[in-house]
Chain A
Amino acid sequence: MIEVRIHGRGGQGAVTAAEILAIAAKEDGKYSQAFPFFGVERRGAPVQAFARISDHFIRVRCQIYEPDHVVVLDPSLVGTVNVVKGLKEDGVVVVNAREEEMNHLSEELGDYDVYYVDATSIALDELGVPIVNTAMVGAYVRATGTVSLDAVKDAIRMRFPGEIGEKNVSAAERAYEEVKEL
């Protein structure tokens, strides 16, 4: 079972990112769970969302304390909240950041396997708004292979039917291509 924690700010679509991952897992023939950090959300405030993906039905229902993977939707969260808290030793971090930001961010992210992509620019290009969740899901699945890109595209189309869905698919595809390992 893979456990994923997504850090974002209220309004960036962290919860939707977790949901897209869970739906994509089902499209790949796997089992999944997605849930928000239970509570009240405010636009701009740090938020978390979670996903579990497994080959078997997932029974465990407590929160995720030791994730395998962490996705960070906003680079300003690194250092503000402990995004690697409880992350497993061989854990992976996928962060939305420009290359020049990585020098400073890499200090905070320790010895983990770190991937980065400028999802904000991609989202602005493809969607016209800085909502980076679908791009970051694309980057995440390239970095970890947890689910396939095709399944992610299907899930995005289910979640956002029509033109907006196609734009988000483009964002996910571009981030999938552009993500780099630190």
Chain B
Amino acid sequence: MGEVHVVNGNYSAAEAVKAVDVDVIAAYPITPQTPVVEYLSEFVANGELDAEFIHVESEHSAISAVVGASATGVRVFTATASQGLALMHEVLFIASGMRLPIVMTVANRALSAPINIWCDHSDTMAQRDTSWIQLYCESNQEIYDTVIQAYRIAENEDVLLPVMVCYDGFTLSHTLEPVEFEPEDEIREFVGEFEPIHCKLDPEEPMTLGPVGGPDSYMEFKKMQHEAMKEALKVIPEVNSEFEKRFGRSYGDGLIEPYNVDDADVVIIAMGSVCGTIKHVIDEHRSDVGLIKVKAFRPFPGDDIRRLIEGKDAVVTIDRAHSYGSMPPLWTDVKAHAPDVEVSSTIAGLGGRDIRVEDILEVIEVAEKGEGTDEPVWINVNV
């Protein structure tokens, strides 16, 4: 049995990193992720975590350092948000292209301009195509559980892709709530030792990693990355169910978590902490509404979502990011997999705009009226 502590989301992430016993951490502080770096520094400094903590001068260096460390075959961690993640951008492709099982948490935050430190998903959505697995969390417990599972997923031989664990800045990162921490020896047993199978940087057995791949081979590498993502669609549910057997907690099948969908006429599709508020609205106000919480955005479990929304009276997505000049990312992915289903699109909660109960009720109304199918409806906006 674990022990319940009342902690914020950043602490949940740091506690999970400690529990999996990472070897190298390199991170640079940025609001609202900063406490993760502080907690981990403290764990390393006071001997609770036997890891190398590399203090770097930027996020570009942080991700570069963990790429290098991971290539030597050790378990690594980094964390960032917003502009910091944007600064990592070019190296994110290198991490996935070199098939390094790096785990990174992102405390989701908007991007400038205007300067904004509050939550939305613009930062991680902008990294959608970097070939990183992206898992989104609803609660602080889910952050802890997902970071632990992320190592199992990333290090799986059939996957070998980096994982981004995304959680909403402030709404989770700075909110305290009860979280059950499991005994560290049990977590370490669950995650196991990381042993690189194919390649690692080793002076005893020199090899080159990440060299030139010309027109004759580049495409093969890229197609294999896509195949690995498809493998992750199988591995994520396996890890989710193994975690459930061991620790008694699960999040749907690990890819999506349907809530009241079977009995629902209207289905909302959403990601992150707003899913908690949506469940609250379903319980208190609208038992005829269901929710599909998308936990895995990459790989995208589009066929599972299509099966659940086919035949429903109304379906609506909530995006906390936008693709300016087109439709927002969650809606676009849903429609790509369910072209025959009418899906309404809403945009809410950009730059920390609170998503209130009345906003969820408005989202439901948008769906029921069939609005927003070719142009997103902006919720609680004054222009």
- Which residues of A approach B to under 8 Å, CB–CB? 18-19, 22-23, 25-26, 31-36, 38-40, 57-63, 65
Given contacts A35-B174, A36-B174, contact A65 B356 (CB under 8 A): yes
A19 to B6, CA, bound (A): 8
Given contacts A38-B352, A58-B177, A61-B277, 18 further A-B contacts (CB under 8 A): A18-B176, A19-B176, A26-B4, A32-B6, A32-B176, A32-B177, A32-B178, A33-B177, A34-B176, A34-B177, A36-B174, A38-B174, A39-B118, A59-B283, A60-B280, A61-B276, A62-B277, A63-B354
Q: How many A-B residue pairs have CB under 8 A?
A: 65
Query: Which of chain A's residues have a CB closer than 8 A to the CB of B178?
Result: 26, 31-32, 57
The smallest C-beta distance from A2 to any residue of chain B, in angstroms, reads 15
Q: Decide yes or no whether B355 CB sits under 8 A from chain A.
A: yes
Given contacts A26-B4, A38-B352, contact A59 B276 (CB under 8 A): yes
Query: Which of chain A's residues have a CB closer than 8 A to the CB of B277?
Result: 59-62
A33 to B283, CA, bound (A): 19
Please state if A23 and B354 are interface contacts (CB–CB under 8 Å).
no
The smallest C-beta distance from A160 to any residue of chain B, in angstroms, reads 15
A22 to B175, CA, bound (A): 10
- Which residues of B approach A to under 8 Å, CB–CB? 4, 6, 117-118, 170-171, 174-178, 273-274, 276-277, 279-280, 283, 352, 354-357
Lowest 7 CB-CB distances: which A-B pairs, in order? A60-B280, A59-B276, A38-B170, A35-B175, A34-B176, A23-B6, A62-B356
Query: Which of chain A's residues have a CB closer than 8 A to the CB of B355?
Result: 62
Query: Which of chain B's residues have a CB closer than 8 A to the CB of A31?
Result: 177-178
The smallest C-beta distance from A5 to any residue of chain B, in angstroms, reads 14
Query: Which of chain A's residues have a CB closer than 8 A to the CB of B276?
Result: 59-61
A18 to B177, CA, bound (A): 11
Question: Which one of B4, B118, B273 lies within 8 Å of A61 (CB-CB)?
Answer: B273
Query: Which of chain A's residues have a CB closer than 8 A to the CB of B117?
Result: 39-40
Query: Which of chain B's residues have a CB closer than 8 A to the CB of A40?
Result: 117
Closest to B357 in A: A62
Interface centre among A26, A31, A35, A62 (most CB of B within 10 A): A62
The smallest C-beta distance from A172 to any residue of chain B, in angstroms, reads 17
Closest to A52 in B: B177
Given contacts A26-B178, A38-B352, contact A59 B280 (CB under 8 A): yes
A33 to B175, CA, bound (A): 7
What are 5 contact pairs spanning A and B, CB under 8 A?
A19-B6, A23-B176, A35-B176, A59-B280, A63-B354
The smallest C-beta distance from B289 to any residue of chain A, in angstroms, reads 14
The smallest C-beta distance from B170 to any residue of chain A, in angstroms, reads 4
A22 to B179, CA, bound (A): 12
Given contacts A32-B6, A35-B170, A38-B118, contact A62 B176 (CB under 8 A): no
Query: Which of chain B's residues have a CB closer than 8 A to the CB of A59?
Result: 276-277, 279-280, 283
The smallest C-beta distance from B12 to any residue of chain A, in angstroms, reads 14
A32 to B7, CA, bound (A): 10
The smallest C-beta distance from B351 to any residue of chain A, in angstroms, reads 11
